[in-house]
Amino acid sequence: MSQIINSLNRKSFYRSTYWQKSVAKKILVGFFVFYLSISLLIMGFTLPEILQAYFPEQEVISAFNQNLLYFFIFSAILRQLFQEIPVVNSIPLLVLPFKKKKIARHLVNKSFFHFFNFLPLLFLVPFAFDTVLEEYSVGNTLGWLINLVGLILIDHMIGIWLKRFSFYKEKMSAIISGVGVGLFVVSFFSIIPVSIWIGHYFDAVLGYPVLAAVPLIFIVLLYRFNIKEIAKGMYLDSRLMPVEKDVSLHAFSWTDKFGSIGKYLSLELKMITRNKRTRSAFMSVVFLLLYGFIVYGNSSMANHDVSLIFIGILITGSFSVSYGQFTPAWHSKYFPFLMTRDFGLKNMLNAQYFLFIASTLIAFIFSTIYLIYGAKVLFFNFLSAIFNIGITSHIVLWMGSFSSKPIDLSQSSFFNYQGTGASVWMMAFVIILGPILYFGLLSLLLQDIWSYLIFGLTGIGGIVFHESIMRKILIRYKKNKHRMLYSYRQTS
Amino acid sequence: MITLKNAEKKYNGNVVLAIDNLTFQRGEIVGVVGNNGAGKTTMFSAILDLIQLSDGYIENNQQRVNQSEEWKKYTSSYLDEKFLIDYLTPDEYFNLVGSLKGYSSEDVQEFISGFRAFFNGEIDNKRKYIRNLSKGNQQKIGIVASLIGNPQIVLLDEPFSNLDPTSQYRLRQIINDFQQQNNCTFLISSHDLNHVAEVCSRIVILEKGKVVDDVKTSDETMMRLESYFAIF
């Protein structure tokens, strides 16, 4: 019987939609994973220097041990947010002659193969064999490493156990994050030095590697406990199965004030707030907004006009770039409805444009906090905002008419490349690189002040000719209507 | 009201729709029947300009559907759940459809209240998104939404499927009453011969994209349908 389950398992892996992606996307994802792995590996080797720099009066290994608490807090929160135990996939097995415990064990076994369990090894193993082994014997080092892996797996098992409460997912995440942050605070400010206790424990393990057996005992207990609990909950109406509850509705009634585009605005906002995919896309808007903190401090980037424009376009255009690029595809599921009703495509596009302007302005206002990096930064953000409103927003709308990939709003966008066809890559290319090349060319040919002026005026030009540009865009949408309808019918 | 002239649709050389001449008059309730692949949905999609014809044309009120968009003002339809915006609540969806027809939300609510029996208390005041409702309830929402705003032409693709028996009979009544009050045209496709024979005033049988029979409903219609579709 377990052979059948294993074969199903293999098939679900090889036949998952992931492998049906185009080569380009596989390469991209592969590159990303490779980059992450290499970074972590390098971190494993350079960790001693980093620790030395931040904790000069401590020994490297005990400094490492004393910071482990923070690592576990971080990983527990991440697990709560991203790790799933796919009980749903077992529904078809429930009516077949399998014991529930067997299905449950299969689920728990499968859950171990999660990249959260492998990623830490990438820097723990080099650190163990490069640094720890220098001071301790092989046996002691191995004991220490096994203990760490054990704790990671305990973290994993507890994470899975907490998933039982996915019914209260939001509350649970809040509680875990609260407890985590609380632990961090009391320990960081040495009110209750939890991290030092953990550090002492790991120091002790280095002395007495037999202690590594302690977490292993816990793992076995937790493993059995989890299997029992999951088997107990294998009913369609149990809390292990995901359910959508009645919702608290926010109707965005203030959009009524915006006249004819009001109802489209409210539809757009409802879509963003009520769907998994759009909500997570919105997270990347937040990330792009905060991008400045990473790069502005870096003097080599913050001194070039061209890179300032690049950052400015990303920050002020964060919404257009990450959300707007999928613009009609967000509506792909009910596109026939939009096309058979007297829907007023024009108003819909105008509402879209309005959102681009509003988001650019909000992002610009937000970006005034980057004033701490100097007035020049703000000036460039201002230039970029004008350019985004006048040029980028129009280009995003125009390119939207080429969109050909439907998007399933109910899927999370974490590692989700659905909807990213060639046109989307083209668009990201045009939206981000276009302005940079344009500005680069201007600053090559002209004096600084003139290049700023012409760049800004280009944006203003786009705003002035807004009406006629929108007319052109509208014609494109009408022309491409049947092609869009056809490609949205194809499920990817 | 609607005329199909030499309307032909091919996919990779396969003809899926080939109608020489077909006209639907105002006030008719037309049942379109045929086995899977007969071209019912293709015909509806073409009338709604959701697909482009390979040849010929379709006129709605003397205007070609792919040239003018006037028809959208008086034609409404529910083909499948792609006509629902599933992250809205039923009320929000009705209000949106109503607002496209210039109705206030009070008007919409008043209109919807006439369908209370049809909804059977499963939709009113539910703080649930459409995506979380059952298929049958989703279908009811789509059908009722297609009646908002005094349409002159209503296209329904398999409206009786997914509905429980009582709702099927209620829907028959709704279509009849609505047609009599508004003198509008209904185009209904269905696999349920009983309902079609009962509710429709005219029946069109499609086979492989062609019209093979086109009759006014009478007492013999059911027999005629059965003799056409039965395998014995």
**Pairing status of strand B153-157 against strand B185-189:** parallel
Tokens linked to B206: 């499609």
Q: Are residues A224 and A263 in the same domain?
A: no
pLDDT band with cut points at 50, 70 and 90 for residue A492:
very low
Tokens 């400045």 identify what position? A292
Residue type for position A483: R
B contact test, residue of A246, A248, A341 with most B CBs within 10 A: A341
- Record: contact B83-A340, CB cut-off 8 A: yes
Residues recorded for chain B:
232
Q: Based on the domain organization, do A272 and A214 belong to the same domain?
A: no
**A208 & A339 share domain:** no
Could you tell me if B56 and B82 are in contact, meaning their C-beta atoms sit under 8 angstroms apart? no
Give residue for tokens 């608290």: A248
Residue B106 has pLDDT above 50, yes or no: yes
Residues A160 and A58 in one domain: yes
| Residue A224 within any structural domain of the chain | yes
Give the three-state DSSP class for A489. Answer: helix
Q: Which residue of B has its CA nearest to A483?
A: B51
User: Is A413 domain-assigned?
Assistant: yes
Cα(A486)–Cα(A404) distance, rounded to whole angstroms? 9
Q: Which residue has the higher pLDDT, A162 or A126?
A: A126
| Identity at B58, one-letter amino acid code | I
Residue A69 amino acid letter: L
Q: Are residues A153 and A93 part of one domain?
A: yes
Give yes or no: residues A78 and A20 share one domain: yes
* Cβ contacts of B16 on chain A, cutoff 8 Å: none
Domains of chain B, start order: 1-74+152-231 (3.40.50.300), 81-150 (no CATH)
Residue A19 has pLDDT above 90, yes or no: no
Nearest C-alpha neighbor of A214 from the set A229, A204, A228, A226? A204
What is the average pLDDT across B128-138?
89
Cβ partners under 8 Å of residue B185, min gap 6: B1, B2, B24, B25, B26, B27, B28, B29, B30, B152, B153, B154
Determine the structural domain holding residue A430 and report its residue range: 258-489
CA distances from B208 to A266, B18, B24, B43, B44 (A): 44, 8, 20, 12, 15
Q: For residue A329, which of A469, A202, A467, A492 has the smallest C-alpha distance?
A: A492
DSSP, res A101? H
Residue A418's pLDDT band, with cuts at 50, 70 and 90, is low
Q: B89 at the A interface (CB within 8 A)?
A: yes
How far is C-alpha B29 from the chain's CA centre?
10
CA distance A145 to B151: 73
pLDDT of residue A305: 82
Distance in Å, alpha carbon of B168 to nearest chain A alpha carbon: 24
Residues A306-335 have pLDDT tens digits of 888 888 888 888 888 777 878 888 888 888
Is B82 in Cβ contact with A335 (below 8 Å)?
A: yes
Question: Measured between alpha carbons, how far is B213 from B197 in angstroms, rounded to an integer?
Answer: 14
With bands split at pLDDT 50, 70 and 90, how would you rate the model's confidence at B131? confident
Confidence at residue A299, expressed as pLDDT on a 0 to 100 scale:
65
pLDDT on residue A301: 65
Whether residue A410 is contained in a domain is answered as: yes
The nearest alpha carbon in chain A to B148 belongs to: A341
> How much is the pLDDT for A473?
92
Q: Are B74 and B151 in contact (CB under 8 A)?
A: yes
Residues A171 and A35 in one domain: yes
Number of domains in chain A: 2
Q: Is B101 on the interface with A (CB under 8 A)?
A: yes
Return the higher-pLDDT residue of A250 and A418: A250
Structure tokens, B18: 């080939």
Which of residues A216, A232, A248 is at a domain's end? A232
What pLDDT score was predicted for residue A491? 63
Per-residue model confidence as pLDDT tens digits over B139-190: 999 999 999 988 999 999 999 999 999 999 999 999 999 999 999 999 999 9
Structure-token match 């400015």, residue found: A312
Which pLDDT does position A181 carry in this prediction? 84
What pLDDT was estimated at residue B121? 84
Least confident of A205-209, A245-249, A386-390, A420-424: A420-424
pLDDT at A415 over 60: no
Whether residue A318 sits in one domain with residue A455:
yes
Contacts of A399 (CB under 8 A, 6+ apart): A325, A423, A426, A427, A430
- Per-residue pLDDT, A53: 82
Residue of B50, B52, B89 with shortest CB distance to A336 = B50
In a domain, A479, yes or no: yes
Torsional class of B163: left (φ above 0), alpha (ψ -120 to 50), beta (otherwise): beta
Instruction: Kindly tell me if the per-residue pLDDT of A218 is higher than 60.
Output: yes
| Residue where one domain finishes, among candidates A197, A232, A267 | A232
A214, A225, A213, A216: which is closest to A160 by C-alpha?
A: A225
Please give the average per-residue pLDDT across A176-196, as a whole number.
82
Q: Residue B4 is which amino acid?
A: L
Tens digits of per-residue pLDDT, A247-257? 666 777 787 77
Best to test chain A binding among B11, B54, B67, B85 (most A CBs inside 10 Å): B85
Establish if A477 belongs to a structural domain.
yes
Give the Å distances, CA to CA, from B214 to B30, B201, B206, B221, B226: 10, 11, 9, 11, 15
The CA-based diameter of chain B, rounded to the nearest angstrom, is 54
Number of H helices, E strands in chain A: 25, 0
Residue of chain B nearest A243, judged by CA positions: B132
Q: Can you tell me the distance from the alpha carbon of B31 to that of B217, in angstroms, rounded to the nearest whole number?
A: 10
Q: Are strands B29-33 and B202-207 parallel, antiparallel or unpaired?
A: parallel
Q: Which residues of A touch B48 (CB under 8 A)?
A: 336, 339-340
Cβ-contact B157, B79 below 8 angstroms: yes
Residue of B nearest to A479 (CA): B66
Of A249, A339, A340, which has the smallest distance from its Cβ to B89's Cβ?
A249
Largest interatomic CA distance in chain A:
78
Tell me which residue in A274, A335, A340 faces B87 most closely, judged by beta carbons. A274
Shortest Cα distance from B193 to chain A (angstroms)? Answer: 28
Chain B residue numbers touching A274 (CB-CB < 8 A) = 87, 129
Task: Give dist(CA B135, CA B156) in Å, integer.
Answer: 16
pLDDT of residue B5: 93
> pLDDT at residue A271 above 80?
yes
Q: Which residue has the higher pLDDT, A322 or A451?
A: A451
Higher-pLDDT residue of A248, A110: A110
Amino acid at B132: N
Q: ipTM of the predicted structure?
A: 0.85
In a domain, A17, yes or no: yes
Q: Please report how the helices A262-274 and B90-100 are oriented relative to each other, as an axis angle in degrees rounded to 10.
A: 150
Q: Is the dihedral of CA B13, B15, B16, B17 positive or negative?
A: positive
Closest listed residue to residue A268, CA positions, set A360, A389, A349, A357 = A349
Examine the domain organization and report whether A133 and A74 are in the same domain. Answer: yes
Distance (Å, whole) CA B71 – CA B49: 10
Closest-CA residue to B65 (of B173, B168, B155)? B155
Across the interface, of A246, A271, A342, the residue whose CB is closest to B87 is A271
> What pLDDT, on the 0 to 100 scale, is given for residue A275?
84
- Residues of B with CB below 8 A from A267's CB? 85, 88, 96
User: In chain A, which residues touch B (CB < 8 A)?
Assistant: 244, 246-249, 251, 263, 267, 270-271, 274-275, 333-337, 339-344, 409-410, 482, 485-486
Of A341, A344, A482, the CB nearest to B52: A482
Determine the Cα–Cα distance for residues A9 and A106; give it in Å rounded to an integer.
Answer: 9
Say if B133 is an interface residue toward chain A (CB within 8 Å): no
Phi-psi region of B12 (alpha: psi -120 to 50; beta: other; left: phi over 0): left
Which residues of chain B are within 8 Å of residue A340 when distances are taken between CB atoms? 48-50, 72, 75-77, 83
| Inside any domain, residue A247 | no
* pLDDT tens digits, B16-55: 999 999 999 999 999 999 988 889 999 999 999 999 899 9
Averaged pLDDT, B65-78: 89
**Given pLDDT bands bounded at 50, 70 and 90, which one contains residue A22?**
low
Pick from A309, A393, A326, A329: nearest CA to A358: A393
B189 touches chain A (CB under 8 A): no
Tell me: do A182 and A76 sit in the same domain: yes
At residue A423 the predicted structure's pLDDT band, cuts being 50, 70 and 90, is low
Average pLDDT of chain A, as a whole number = 81
* Count of all residues that appear for chain A in the document: 492
pLDDT digits (tens, 9 = 90+) for A352-369: 899 999 999 999 998 888
Q: Determine, yes or no, domain membership for A242.
A: no
User: How far off is chain B from A357, nearest CA to CA, in Å?
Assistant: 24
Contact residues on chain B for A339, CB-CB shorter than 8 A: 48-50
Distance CA B7, CA B21 (A): 8
Place of tokens 């590594």: A212
- For residue B216, what is the enclosing H or E element? strand B210-216
Tell me: do A209 and A277 sit in the same domain: no
Looking at the structure, tell me whether residues A74 and A193 fall in a common domain.
yes
Percent of chain A at pLDDT above 90?
12
The sign of the torsion formed by the CA atoms of A356, A362, A368, A373 equals negative
Distance CA A190, CA A339 (A): 62
Query: How would you classify the pairing of strands B153-157 and B75-78?
Result: parallel
Quote the CA–CA distance of B22 and B122 in Å, as a whole number.
39
Name the residue in chain A with its Cα closest to that of B154. Answer: A340
CA angle A290, A295, A301 (to 5 degrees): 150
Q: Do A334 and B51 touch (CB under 8 A)?
A: no
Q: What chain B residue is nearest to A252 in terms of C-alpha separation?
A: B92
**Residues of A in Cβ contact (< 8 Å) with B128:** 246-247
Q: Is the dihedral of CA A318, A321, A327, A330 positive or negative?
A: negative
